[in-house]
Each structure stands twice: as structure tokens, then as C-alpha cells.
Amino acid sequence: MNKKRNLLSPRENLTQYFSVNNQNIISGKIRILLVFAIFLTALSSENLFAANQMAIDSYSFKIVSAPLDSTSPYTLGHLPLKSAVEVSAETNIIVHIKDDGAGVDINSIKMSVNGQIVSPVISGTPSEYVLNYNPSTNFAIGQQVFVTIQASDLAP
């Protein structure tokens, strides 16, 4: 059996939806604007481009603890160089303390020269601090100078 569908033209359809007691309440330019607005609403609500859109991708994760920092701080950039000879008696001692993980705890940095705790000028950031110690008196000619650096990681 062949059924006939009763299709209304867009104008008849709008007239049907926007009439009161079979009285047309829309006229002129307003009708055109309203048709355009309804068309845009239909486009956005029916999502005519769904075939080209990505499916919604949702996921979750849970933070259980901070990432492990398995590297300890280390020194580099020693001036004078380690085991250097013929160093000026007026030398400053410069050492870089670096950490590739969470960083160096600045409050844990200790420097000693010939067994005595000293107070170097510290600059930089937790990833790399520079210690610069200027002794109050020059070292003696031929003196062997022993430098010790201690530092802790910011990571627990």
C-alpha cells in the first residue's frame, strides 16, 4: 500500500507553527529572520556534520603520590678544578650544585674548607645553585686545600 506523506512547504510549516487561531502573526522581514534563526537552530541541534566529528573521548586518572626522585644532588663546575696544581693563593672557590629531579634544598647546603664550615655566597635556583666562597685571607703558597660540599634533595 502506497502511503502519501503530508509534507508542508517551509513557509506553510512556519505559518502553522507561528499562528494564533489560524491568524498569521509573522510578516515581512521578521518572517525571513525567523526562518533563518530556525534553520540555524536545526543545524546545531541535529548536528548535520556528525559523520566528520570525533567521538567524545573521556578518561580519568588518580594521583597517588609525587613522582619518585631517584637522583641525588651532585657537584660540577669546580673552580679551581679538582686536583688542580699551581693555583693562585688569592683564588675564590666556586662550585655548582645541581639536581636533575626535584631540586636542591638550599637550607641543606654546607661548604667546608680545610675542615672549617664557611659561608659562601649562594645564587641560582633549586635545579642548580652556585656557591662562591671568597676566603678572608689568602691561602699559603704550596698549601693543599680540601673542600667538602654537602646538600640534600628537595624530594622526600
> Residue 74 has what pLDDT?
95
Residues of the chain with pLDDT under 50: 15, 18-20, 26, 28, 45-46
> Residue 34 has what pLDDT?
53
Is 58 contained in some domain? no
> Residue 68 has what pLDDT?
76
> Residue 47 has what pLDDT?
52
For the chain, what is the total number of helices (H) and then of strands (E)? 2, 9
Give the model confidence (pLDDT) of 110-123 as tens digits. Answer: 999 999 999 999 99
Is 86 contained in some domain? yes
Question: Where is 43: in which H helix or E strand?
Answer: helix 28-46
Same domain, 40 and 94: no
Same domain, 85 and 135: yes
The domain tally of the chain equals 2
Contact call for residues 19 and 27 (beta carbons, < 8 A):
no
> Residue 31 has what pLDDT?
53
Among residues 147, 149, 142, the alpha carbon closest in space to that of 89 is found at 142
Domain hosting residue 20, numbered range: 10-52
Same domain, 48 and 93: no
Q: pTM for this structure?
A: 0.57
> Residue 94 has what pLDDT?
97
Contact call for residues 111 and 118 (beta carbons, < 8 A):
yes
